[in-house]
Protein backbone atom coordinates (compact mmCIF):
# COMPACT_ATOMS: atom_id res chain seq x y z
CA UNK A 1 0.00 0.00 0.00
CA UNK A 2 1.29 3.47 -0.92
CA UNK A 3 1.06 6.78 0.92
CA UNK A 4 -1.72 8.91 -0.56
CA UNK A 5 0.45 12.05 -0.29
CA UNK A 6 3.88 10.98 -1.55
CA UNK A 7 3.68 7.42 -2.92
CA UNK A 8 6.18 5.99 -0.40
CA UNK A 9 5.30 2.77 1.44
CA UNK A 10 2.39 3.39 3.79
CA UNK A 11 2.69 2.41 7.47
CA UNK A 12 -1.02 2.69 8.21
CA UNK A 13 -4.25 2.33 6.32
CA UNK A 14 -7.19 4.11 7.94
CA UNK A 15 -10.16 2.47 6.32
CA UNK A 16 -12.67 4.83 7.90
CA UNK A 17 -10.92 7.74 6.16
CA UNK A 18 -9.95 5.75 3.06
CA UNK A 19 -6.47 7.06 3.75
CA UNK A 20 -3.08 5.31 3.77
CA UNK A 21 -0.02 7.29 4.88
CA UNK A 22 3.74 6.83 5.21
CA UNK A 23 5.48 7.39 8.56
CA UNK A 24 6.31 11.06 7.84
CA UNK A 25 2.88 12.01 6.58
CA UNK A 26 1.10 10.10 9.33
CA UNK A 27 3.34 11.85 11.90
CA UNK A 28 2.08 15.18 10.51
CA UNK A 29 -1.53 14.13 9.95
CA UNK A 30 -2.16 13.21 13.61
CA UNK A 31 -1.24 16.62 15.13
CA UNK A 32 -3.27 18.34 12.39
CA UNK A 33 -6.33 16.28 13.42
CA UNK A 34 -5.81 17.17 17.07
CA UNK A 35 -5.43 20.86 16.20
CA UNK A 36 -8.76 20.67 14.34
CA UNK A 37 -10.48 19.17 17.40
CA UNK A 38 -8.96 21.83 19.68
CA UNK A 39 -10.47 24.56 17.46
CA UNK A 40 -13.75 22.83 16.67
CA UNK A 41 -14.63 22.19 20.29
CA UNK A 42 -12.96 25.40 21.57
CA UNK A 43 -10.80 23.47 24.00
CA UNK A 44 -8.21 26.14 24.77
CA UNK A 45 -6.23 28.97 23.17
CA UNK A 46 -2.47 29.25 22.51
CA UNK A 47 -2.17 31.67 25.44
CA UNK A 48 -3.53 29.13 27.92
CA UNK A 49 -1.46 26.62 29.92
CA UNK A 50 -2.64 23.03 29.77
CA UNK A 51 -1.97 20.16 32.16
CA UNK A 52 -1.82 16.73 30.52
CA UNK A 53 -2.77 13.85 32.82
CA UNK A 54 0.05 11.48 31.85
CA UNK A 55 -0.39 7.83 32.82
CA UNK A 56 2.65 6.47 30.96
CA UNK A 57 0.31 4.80 28.44
CA UNK A 58 0.32 5.45 24.70
CA UNK A 59 -2.58 7.88 24.54
CA UNK A 60 -1.53 10.38 27.16
CA UNK A 61 2.15 10.40 26.10
CA UNK A 62 1.15 10.78 22.44
CA UNK A 63 -1.17 13.62 23.46
CA UNK A 64 1.57 15.41 25.37
CA UNK A 65 3.96 15.00 22.42
CA UNK A 66 1.35 16.35 19.99
CA UNK A 67 0.52 19.41 22.11
CA UNK A 68 4.22 20.24 22.45
CA UNK A 69 4.79 19.84 18.71
CA UNK A 70 1.84 22.12 18.07
CA UNK A 71 3.59 24.75 20.21
CA UNK A 72 1.26 24.71 23.21
CA UNK A 73 2.40 25.22 26.78
CA UNK A 74 1.64 21.73 28.07
CA UNK A 75 2.98 20.31 31.32
CA UNK A 76 2.27 16.80 32.63
CA UNK A 77 0.92 15.30 35.83
CA UNK A 78 1.63 11.72 36.84
CA UNK A 79 -0.30 10.26 39.76
CA UNK A 80 1.51 7.40 41.51
CA UNK A 81 -1.21 4.99 42.56
CA UNK A 82 0.93 2.33 44.25
CA UNK A 83 -0.34 -0.49 42.00
CA UNK A 84 2.06 -3.41 41.69
CA UNK A 85 0.27 -6.27 39.91
CA UNK A 86 3.43 -8.39 40.10
CA UNK A 87 5.43 -6.11 37.79
CA UNK A 88 5.52 -2.72 39.55
CA UNK A 89 2.85 -1.29 37.23
CA UNK A 90 2.86 2.16 38.84
CA UNK A 91 6.66 2.42 39.07
CA UNK A 92 7.04 1.35 35.44
CA UNK A 93 4.37 3.85 34.30
CA UNK A 94 6.13 6.67 36.15
CA UNK A 95 9.47 5.76 34.54
CA UNK A 96 7.88 5.99 31.08
CA UNK A 97 6.62 9.52 31.86
CA UNK A 98 10.01 10.55 33.23
CA UNK A 99 11.84 9.17 30.20
CA UNK A 100 9.40 10.99 27.91
CA UNK A 101 9.85 14.40 29.51
CA UNK A 102 13.63 14.01 29.87
CA UNK A 103 13.90 14.14 26.05
CA UNK A 104 12.67 17.71 26.15
CA UNK A 105 14.95 18.81 28.96
CA UNK A 106 17.97 18.89 26.70
CA UNK A 107 16.84 22.37 25.73
CA UNK A 108 17.56 22.57 22.01
CA UNK A 109 15.04 20.03 20.82
CA UNK A 110 14.08 21.52 17.43
CA UNK A 111 10.88 19.47 17.36
CA UNK A 112 9.34 21.48 20.15
CA UNK A 113 8.13 24.87 19.14
CA UNK A 114 8.37 26.18 22.68
CA UNK A 115 9.08 29.86 23.22
CA UNK A 116 12.54 30.88 24.53
CA UNK A 117 13.90 28.55 27.19
CA UNK A 118 10.63 26.99 28.33
CA UNK A 119 10.69 23.23 28.77
CA UNK A 120 7.79 21.06 29.88
CA UNK A 121 7.51 20.01 33.53
CA UNK A 122 6.30 16.66 34.81
CA UNK A 123 4.54 17.02 38.16
CA UNK A 124 4.66 13.76 40.10
CA UNK A 125 2.37 13.04 42.97
CA UNK A 126 2.42 9.85 45.02
CA UNK A 127 -0.90 8.88 46.58
CA UNK A 128 0.67 6.43 49.10
CA UNK A 129 3.19 9.07 50.24
CA UNK A 130 0.62 11.85 50.49
CA UNK A 131 -2.25 9.92 52.04
CA UNK A 132 -0.59 6.90 53.67
CA UNK A 133 -2.18 4.14 51.56
CA UNK A 134 -1.94 2.92 47.98
CA UNK A 135 -5.08 2.64 45.87
CA UNK A 136 -5.38 -1.15 46.38
CA UNK A 137 -4.85 -0.71 50.15
CA UNK A 138 -7.42 2.08 50.39
CA UNK A 139 -9.95 0.07 48.38
CA UNK A 140 -9.25 -3.09 50.37
CA UNK A 141 -10.02 -1.28 53.63
CA UNK A 142 -13.23 0.44 52.56
CA UNK A 143 -14.56 -2.47 50.52
CA UNK A 144 -13.46 -5.10 53.04
CA UNK A 145 -11.65 -7.06 50.36
CA UNK A 146 -14.62 -7.21 47.97
CA UNK A 147 -14.47 -6.05 44.37
CA UNK A 148 -11.89 -4.19 42.34
CA UNK A 149 -10.33 -0.88 43.35
CA UNK A 150 -11.38 0.90 40.12
CA UNK A 151 -14.14 3.11 41.50
CA UNK A 152 -12.03 4.18 44.50
CA UNK A 153 -9.20 4.81 42.04
CA UNK A 154 -11.43 6.89 39.75
CA UNK A 155 -12.62 9.05 42.64
CA UNK A 156 -9.06 9.66 43.87
CA UNK A 157 -7.68 10.39 40.39
CA UNK A 158 -10.47 12.85 39.55
CA UNK A 159 -10.04 14.72 42.84
CA UNK A 160 -6.26 14.93 42.63
CA UNK A 161 -6.10 15.86 38.94
CA UNK A 162 -8.58 18.63 39.56
CA UNK A 163 -6.79 19.83 42.69
CA UNK A 164 -3.42 20.14 40.95
CA UNK A 165 -4.81 21.71 37.75
CA UNK A 166 -6.78 24.23 39.78
CA UNK A 167 -4.12 25.03 42.41
CA UNK A 168 -1.33 25.44 39.85
CA UNK A 169 -3.49 27.70 37.70
CA UNK A 170 -3.78 25.58 34.53
CA UNK A 171 -6.63 26.60 32.23
CA UNK A 172 -7.49 23.04 31.27
CA UNK A 173 -6.82 19.45 32.25
CA UNK A 174 -6.30 17.21 29.20
CA UNK A 175 -6.75 13.45 29.35
CA UNK A 176 -5.75 10.88 26.73
CA UNK A 177 -9.24 9.46 26.09
CA UNK A 178 -9.41 8.40 22.46
CA UNK A 179 -12.33 7.64 20.16
CA UNK A 180 -12.46 3.98 21.21
CA UNK A 181 -12.73 5.05 24.88
CA UNK A 182 -15.39 7.64 24.15
CA UNK A 183 -17.46 5.36 21.91
CA UNK A 184 -17.32 2.59 24.55
CA UNK A 185 -18.40 5.03 27.27
CA UNK A 186 -21.21 6.27 25.04
CA UNK A 187 -22.29 2.69 24.35
CA UNK A 188 -22.30 1.90 28.08
CA UNK A 189 -24.29 5.03 28.94
CA UNK A 190 -26.77 4.31 26.15
CA UNK A 191 -27.26 0.68 27.13
CA UNK A 192 -28.56 1.84 30.49
CA UNK A 193 -29.92 5.22 29.33
CA UNK A 194 -27.87 7.22 31.78
CA UNK A 195 -29.27 10.48 30.47
CA UNK A 196 -27.41 12.60 33.01
CA UNK A 197 -24.07 11.09 31.97
CA UNK A 198 -24.97 11.38 28.29
CA UNK A 199 -25.77 15.06 28.74
CA UNK A 200 -22.31 15.61 30.26
CA UNK A 201 -20.36 13.39 27.88
CA UNK A 202 -18.30 15.28 25.31
CA UNK A 203 -14.85 16.54 24.38
CA UNK A 204 -15.07 19.51 26.78
CA UNK A 205 -16.46 19.82 30.27
CA UNK A 206 -16.49 23.54 31.04
CA UNK A 207 -14.86 24.88 34.19
CA UNK A 208 -17.08 25.56 37.18
CA UNK A 209 -16.20 27.32 40.38
CA UNK A 210 -13.37 25.20 41.83
CA UNK A 211 -13.37 22.71 38.96
CA UNK A 212 -10.85 22.92 36.12
CA UNK A 213 -11.99 22.64 32.49
CA UNK A 214 -11.61 19.03 31.30
CA UNK A 215 -10.73 18.34 27.68
CA UNK A 216 -10.18 15.26 25.49
CA UNK A 217 -8.19 16.38 22.44
CA UNK A 218 -7.80 12.79 21.09
CA UNK A 219 -11.54 12.13 21.00
CA UNK A 220 -11.60 11.79 17.20
CA UNK A 221 -8.60 9.46 16.88
CA UNK A 222 -8.72 5.69 17.07
CA UNK A 223 -6.68 3.76 19.63
CA UNK A 224 -4.71 1.99 16.88
CA UNK A 225 -3.80 5.36 15.42
CA UNK A 226 -2.36 6.42 18.76
CA UNK A 227 -0.32 3.20 19.00
CA UNK A 228 0.96 3.80 15.45
CA UNK A 229 1.77 7.43 16.31
CA UNK A 230 3.92 6.31 19.27
CA UNK A 231 5.73 3.86 17.04
CA UNK A 232 6.37 6.45 14.36
CA UNK A 233 7.55 9.02 16.90
CA UNK A 234 9.63 6.58 18.97
CA UNK A 235 7.58 7.19 22.12
CA UNK A 236 8.18 4.44 24.64
CA UNK A 237 5.07 3.71 26.70
CA UNK A 238 3.82 1.06 29.08
CA UNK A 239 2.15 -1.72 27.06
CA UNK A 240 0.51 -3.41 30.01
CA UNK A 241 -2.92 -2.25 31.09
CA UNK A 242 -3.69 -1.72 34.76
CA UNK A 243 -3.85 -5.24 36.27
CA UNK A 244 -7.34 -4.48 37.60
CA UNK A 245 -8.76 -3.55 34.19
CA UNK A 246 -9.06 -7.21 33.11
CA UNK A 247 -12.67 -8.15 32.57
CA UNK A 248 -13.96 -4.56 32.87
CA UNK A 249 -17.30 -3.91 31.17
CA UNK A 250 -15.76 -1.09 29.17
CA UNK A 251 -13.37 -3.62 27.60
CA UNK A 252 -16.28 -5.86 26.58
CA UNK A 253 -17.96 -2.80 25.00
CA UNK A 254 -14.74 -1.93 23.17
CA UNK A 255 -14.57 -5.46 21.77
CA UNK A 256 -18.15 -5.29 20.54
CA UNK A 257 -17.56 -1.97 18.85
CA UNK A 258 -14.30 -3.26 17.33
CA UNK A 259 -16.26 -6.12 15.77
CA UNK A 260 -18.77 -3.65 14.31
CA UNK A 261 -15.89 -1.57 13.01
CA UNK A 262 -14.35 -4.62 11.36
CA UNK A 263 -17.58 -5.29 9.48
CA UNK A 264 -18.23 -1.70 8.69
CA UNK A 265 -15.22 0.65 8.78
CA UNK A 266 -16.07 3.98 10.39
CA UNK A 267 -19.01 2.60 12.43
CA UNK A 268 -17.45 3.55 15.75
CA UNK A 269 -16.54 7.02 14.55
CA UNK A 270 -20.04 7.58 13.17
CA UNK A 271 -21.62 6.41 16.40
CA UNK A 272 -19.64 8.93 18.48
CA UNK A 273 -19.54 11.87 16.08
CA UNK A 274 -23.24 11.68 15.25
CA UNK A 275 -23.95 11.69 18.98
CA UNK A 276 -21.91 14.89 19.36
CA UNK A 277 -23.72 16.42 16.40
CA UNK A 278 -27.13 15.50 17.80
CA UNK A 279 -26.12 17.09 21.08
CA UNK A 280 -25.01 20.27 19.33
CA UNK A 281 -28.43 20.36 17.70
CA UNK A 282 -30.13 20.28 21.07
CA UNK A 283 -30.79 16.58 21.68
CA UNK A 284 -30.50 16.17 25.48
CA UNK A 285 -30.77 19.93 26.15
CA UNK A 286 -33.78 19.18 28.34
CA UNK A 287 -31.63 16.85 30.37
CA UNK A 288 -28.90 19.32 31.24
CA UNK A 289 -28.93 19.25 35.00
CA UNK A 290 -28.83 22.78 36.43
CA UNK A 291 -25.62 23.27 38.42
CA UNK A 292 -26.18 21.91 41.91
CA UNK A 293 -25.63 24.16 44.91
CA UNK A 294 -22.04 23.58 45.88
CA UNK A 295 -20.02 24.63 48.87
CA UNK A 296 -16.42 24.11 49.90
CA UNK A 297 -15.52 20.79 51.53
CA UNK A 298 -14.57 21.45 55.16
CA UNK A 299 -11.35 19.49 54.81
CA UNK A 300 -9.94 20.07 51.32
CA UNK A 301 -11.94 23.05 50.06
CA UNK A 302 -13.03 21.42 46.77
CA UNK A 303 -16.66 22.10 45.84
CA UNK A 304 -19.13 19.44 46.95
CA UNK A 305 -22.88 18.98 47.25
CA UNK A 306 -22.44 16.94 50.44
CA UNK A 307 -23.17 18.77 53.70
CA UNK A 308 -19.64 18.67 55.19
CA UNK A 309 -16.95 16.54 53.54
CA UNK A 310 -16.56 15.74 49.84
CA UNK A 311 -16.57 12.10 48.70
CA UNK A 312 -12.75 12.05 48.49
CA UNK A 313 -12.29 13.26 52.08
CA UNK A 314 -15.03 10.91 53.36
CA UNK A 315 -13.18 8.05 51.68
CA UNK A 316 -9.89 8.85 53.45
CA UNK A 317 -11.65 9.20 56.81
CA UNK A 318 -13.00 5.67 56.31
CA UNK A 319 -9.61 4.37 55.14
CA UNK A 320 -7.93 5.79 58.28
CA UNK A 321 -10.59 4.34 60.55
CA UNK A 322 -9.84 0.85 59.17
CA UNK A 323 -6.06 1.10 59.72
P1 LIG B 1 -8.04 5.40 32.23
O2 LIG B 1 -9.09 5.93 33.13
O3 LIG B 1 -7.01 4.56 32.93
O4 LIG B 1 -8.54 4.82 30.96
O5 LIG B 1 -7.21 6.69 31.78
C6 LIG B 1 -7.80 7.73 31.08
C7 LIG B 1 -6.89 8.94 31.10
O8 LIG B 1 -6.69 9.36 32.45
C9 LIG B 1 -5.48 8.67 30.57
O10 LIG B 1 -5.43 8.81 29.17
C11 LIG B 1 -4.69 9.73 31.27
O12 LIG B 1 -4.83 10.98 30.62
C13 LIG B 1 -5.37 9.82 32.63
N14 LIG B 1 -4.69 8.98 33.65
C15 LIG B 1 -4.95 7.69 33.97
N16 LIG B 1 -4.14 7.25 34.96
C17 LIG B 1 -3.34 8.29 35.28
C18 LIG B 1 -2.28 8.48 36.22
N19 LIG B 1 -1.88 7.50 37.02
N20 LIG B 1 -1.69 9.69 36.28
C21 LIG B 1 -2.08 10.70 35.46
N22 LIG B 1 -3.07 10.58 34.56
C23 LIG B 1 -3.69 9.40 34.46
FE1 LIG C 1 -7.04 2.61 38.79
FE2 LIG C 1 -6.64 0.44 37.47
S3 LIG C 1 -5.88 2.43 37.04
S4 LIG C 1 -7.62 0.62 39.35
ZN1 LIG D 1 3.93 10.09 2.46
ZN1 LIG E 1 -12.72 17.22 50.50
For the CA of 81, the closest atom of ligand 2 is 1
pLDDT above 70 covers what percent of the chain? 96
Same domain flag for 314 and 168: no
Name the residue of 54, 80, 81, 156 to mutate for ligand 2: max ligand atoms within 8 A of Cβ. Answer: 81
Same domain flag for 181 and 313: no
Residue 67 has pLDDT above 70, yes or no: yes
Q: What's the pLDDT tens digit per position in 8-41?
A: 999 999 999 999 999 999 999 999 999 999 999 9
The Cα 217–Cα 29 span in angstroms is: 14
Mean pLDDT along residues 110-136? 85
Beta strands in 73-223 (DSSP E): 73-80, 122-126, 172-174, 204-205, 213-215
136 lines ligand 2 (CB under 6 A): no
Contact 176, 55 (CB under 8 A): yes
Same domain flag for 48 and 194: yes
| Residue 12 resides in a domain | no
| Residue 188 resides in a domain | yes
What is the whole-number distance in angstroms between the Cα of residue 177 and the centre of ligand 2?
Answer: 15
| Residue 137 resides in a domain | yes
Where does ligand 1 bind, in terms of residues with CB under 6 Å?
53-55, 59-60, 77-79, 81, 157, 175-177
Paired strand residues for 222? none
Give 108's pLDDT tier (boundaries 50, 70, 90).
low
| Residue 154 resides in a domain | yes
Domain that holds residue 190: 27-281
The Cα 83–Cα 14 span in angstroms is: 35
| Residue 184 resides in a domain | yes
Same domain flag for 182 and 136: yes
Same domain flag for 238 and 112: yes
Q: Which of 107, 180, 170, 160 is nearest to 310 (CA)?
A: 160
In the chain, how many domains are there? 2
Mean pLDDT along residues 84-103? 97
User: Coil, strand, or helix at residue 12?
Assistant: strand
| Residue 13 resides in a domain | no
Same domain flag for 94 and 216: yes
pLDDT of residue 286: 80
Same domain flag for 145 and 276: yes
Same domain flag for 146 and 229: yes
pTM: 0.96
Q: Which of 126, 78, 69, 84 is nearest to 98 (CA)?
A: 78
Same domain flag for 252 and 188: yes
Q: How many CB atoms lie within 10 A of CB 189?
A: 18
Same domain flag for 305 and 235: no
Please report, for the domain that includes residue 98, its CATH number.
Answer: 3.40.50.620
Same domain flag for 99 and 203: yes
| Residue 304 resides in a domain | yes
The Cα 295–Cα 228 span in angstroms is: 45
Q: What's the pLDDT tens digit per position in 271-288?
A: 999 999 999 999 888 877
Same domain flag for 229 and 323: no
| Residue 10 resides in a domain | no
The Cα 126–Cα 134 span in angstroms is: 9
Amino acid sequence: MKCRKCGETAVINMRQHKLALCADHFGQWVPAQVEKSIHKYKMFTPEERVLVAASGGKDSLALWDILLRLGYHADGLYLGLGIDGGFDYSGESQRKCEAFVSKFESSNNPEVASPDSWTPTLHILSIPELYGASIPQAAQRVQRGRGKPCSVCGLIKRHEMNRIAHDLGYSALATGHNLDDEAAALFGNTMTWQVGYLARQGPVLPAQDGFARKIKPLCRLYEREMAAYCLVRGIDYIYEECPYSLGATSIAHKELLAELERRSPGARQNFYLSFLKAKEEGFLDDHQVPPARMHACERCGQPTTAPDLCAFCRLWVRVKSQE
